[in-house]
Amino acid sequence: MKTKYYNLTSEQTLEKLTSQTTGLTDAQVKERQAQYGPNVLEAKKHTTLLQKFIAQFKDLMIVILMVAALVAMFAGEVSDALIIFLVVILNAVFGVFQEAKAENAIDALQEMTTPYSRVRRNGEILQVKSDELVPGDIVLLEAGDIVPADMRLLSANSLKVEEAALTGESVPVDKDAAVMTETEPPLGEQHNLCFMNTSVTYGTAEAVVFATGMNTQVGHIATMLDEVDNSVTPLQKNITHLSKVLTVLILVIAVVIFVFGVVTGRESVLDMLLTAISLAVAAIPEGLPAIVTITLALGTQAMAKRHALVRKLPAVETLGTTEIIASDKTGTLTQNKMTVEQLYTPQTDLVKASAFEISPEAKLTQIMILANDSQETPDGLVGDPTETALIQYYLDRGLDITQVQKAFPRVDSIPFDSERKMMSALVENNGQTYLMTKGAVDEILRQATQIEENGQIRPLTKADKEKILKVNHDLALEALRVLGFAYKPLTDTTKEKTAKNYENDLIFVGLIGMIDPERPEVKDAVAEAKSAGIRPLMITGDHKDTARAIALRLGIITPEDTAGVITGRELDAMSDEELKQNVDRYSVYARVAPEHKVRIVKAWQAHGKIVAMTGDGVNDAPALKTADIGVGMGITGTEVSKNASDIVLADDNFATIILAVREGRKVFANIQKAIQYLLSANLGEVLTLFMMTMLNWSIFAPVQILWINLVTDTFPAIALGIEKGEKNIMQQKPRGSKSNFLSNGVGSSIIYQGLLEGLLTLGVYWIALNYPFHHTSAQIHADALTMAYATLGVLQLFHAFNSKSIHGTIFRKETFNNKYFNLAVISSAILLAMTIFVPAFNQTFHVTTLALQQWLIVLGAGVLMVLIVEVVKFFQRRFIYQDER
């Protein structure tokens, strides 16, 4: 059973760890180093570039293409085989390039560890390497130190520790050595423990190490990172499913054609084998992997311009499916910077900070500056965030703090103490010494006997106290951190400088409410997310009231949604099944631990939801990896969180996520258009060849099939991948996990459009046979086959324009706004026409030169293709997809 050191006294802890206040002996250290190993996090094994490259070829579609390329090569179609190989290799290179940075989360955790620690061993204070620490070591801490291991405090003097990266707490937490009676306190409330990789911001302490390396809280997170499976994105699922379906259909059709041809004796076994192979090669959309990769790569470039840096290609499209955005609060939704928001004085009552008239002569101002240990440096203010906020408020108004500091030089101070919750500075002005005090409002009032109002000092009445406490309570409900301010002139400064001697009979002057404010752009981003059908969640280590107040201000919850906030402790009381059943009730999670975040993500995923998780701390890393899409913060984010993410926001701007979602939706729509075009074209080819075989007509030569497939499929399809997004793309609901590339009518469109292509091609072939332009049978059949070949190619090029919108009409100005698409169609048309118009190619491609009337029939079929599809789209918009007009 795991020892709960926060419930043990200092003496019990030392006894449990077989240690003493003088520290371990050299013999004990050596023995424990052998037992526990070095105080480091285990490095994760990285895959080599070669392994990453080989891994790209595990995809089923890639395997099929490789086999098809080999078969094509053996069939004599070397050029086509080389092109397929080139497409596959380019696809693999793109994938390796995007994923070249291996998961360095554990390495980043190691780099955060401080290299040396001050330790008491053999009764002496030594500097030792942090990786040599063992359980039982006595460590000395002071401001600026990184905590090198998990430890139980033995003594603490005004100790404050920054734990935001581990717990999500937005301000440094007070620590002391007192025993906790609570049996299961949240990580952020274990005030007598310090954790590895957190930082000391104030005070000093002495502590005993109870956990090192992978046994620490950070080590626990590292283990969770290692255990988390890399999620398969919806895009990868869709491509895999599509590949399997296509493989089965293509193999069945190829076998049927081969068997039928052989049985009827119309062609030799070798010829039918080559025909079946050519059909299989033509039917497989070998351009699809390249189109998907190029579309995603272009999406990453567009997102990079919007400060969203993509680490893994499929993450671009996954964002477009997002239904839940679970966001860390501190530094993501808020500025991670304490800010003065409201002030109260007896003469002004409660006013907004921006409206408060501040002056160097006011006592409240003087106390803010003087009872303050912050320091100005070339890099900005350094000190406790609460204290720096007070100074920053003054500086933001163009005032000079040195003016006050020089007029009231400090002569002594009484440091902050977590028991009395106050700190005081003794300052001197014109021979008079003053005590300047700030602290918890109730503690200040307990020591105050007078109040300053309009420059006059009078007794502090019961009514005054009740009013001040009510203001304090109201501000606390708004999740503001409230400080009280008081002073008194000193008549005797010879006493020992202790709180008992000086902090009494104070004159109350006012109080100040501070908060880590929300980012100004986030409220609009939350509103846009909701309008796009995306549910935003807040997950934080902060107090429940703080989380609720920020969520209300951002619009994540409404005032009526009182049940929408839950704590980590309440989550612990739920089983995974109970959480799954109730997860849709909650939008705000407070006081959570890393494992809670993973549970929340998994609970939503159990409902089939696509979850994006944003975060910047070490504590966010496991959930970032578990989520369908992990979004790290580039500025405030730790290397751990960034390496665990799929996308990193370079500007830490929550609004950037919404821009990225828009880009993700556009990417999916463009891939869907390309797939509709490719598969309908390939279905037309398969149907044409199948019916020619069944009707005992002459069939296309393998080179004809492969050439049409190459020049008319790939270039226009790639160009479809860079279409501009639809105007109403962010007003549509998320597609969700159950959608795929064949959803929204795409599957049925592929079928009817493919059938239409095949029927029109066969129709032209039939016309050429029955209304010939030549007299000999050989010439008639050669012309018919050439016209069918030209028709199949022309139909696909005309149909490329149909595919620019799934249900929208092409009779609009946007139809020709993609210059790359126009160029692709023209290039494909030229390459197709060359095989017929250039005599040198006629024999190679088994075609004849066509007359003008024959070309008019071919082009007429292309126009008919457009018109029929337009009529179908009209009825689709009118009766089925009315919201997508």
Phi–psi pair at 101, nearest 5 degrees:
-75, 105
Q: Return the ∠ at Cα 774 (arms to 769 and 777), rounded to 5°.
A: 60
Q: How open is the CA angle 460-464-470, to the nearest 5 degrees?
A: 140
Distance CA 366, CA 360 (A): 7
137, 145, 150, 328: the active-site residue: 328
Beta strands in 627-699 (DSSP E): 629-633, 647-649
CA-based nearest residue to 532, from 661, 629, 655, 653? 661
Question: What is the number of other CB atoms lying within 10 angstroms of the CB of residue 755?
Answer: 14
Q: Which residues contact 208 (CB under 8 A, 6 or more apart)?
A: 10, 13, 14, 17, 19, 136, 137, 138, 139, 151, 152, 154
Whole-Å CA distances, 481 to 504, 517, 565: 23, 11, 20
843 Cβ neighbours under 8 A, 6+ residues apart: none
* Greatest extent of the chain over all pairs of C-alpha atoms, in Å: 128
Burial of 494 (C-beta count, 10 Å sphere; 0-12/13-18/19+): exposed
Using CA atoms, how far residue 775 sits from 769, 779, 789, in Å, is 11, 7, 21
492 catalytic, yes or no? no
Q: Which amino acid is at 450?
A: Q
Dihedral sign for Cα 657, 663, 666, 671, please.
negative
Signed CA dihedral, 261, 263, 265, 267: sign only:
positive
The one-letter amino acid code at 718 reads I
- E strand segments, 592-688: 611-615, 629-633, 647-649
Instruction: Tell me the Ramachandran region of residue 76: left when phi exceeds 0, alpha when psi lies from -120 to 50, beta otherwise.
Output: left
The CA–CA distances, whole Å, from 721 to 704, 724, 730, 750, 833 equal 26, 9, 19, 17, 25
How are strands ordered across the β-sheet holding 647-649?
308-310, 647-649, 629-633, 611-615, 324-328, 535-539, 588-590, 565-567
Angle, CA of 336, 392 and 549, to the nearest 5°: 40
3-class secondary structure, 121: strand
The distance of Cα 299 from the centroid of its chain, to the nearest Å, equals 15
Q: How far apart are CA 764 and CA 710, in angstroms?
A: 22
* Residue 434 dihedral angles phi and psi, to the nearest 5°: -125, 150
Active centre residues (catalytic): 328
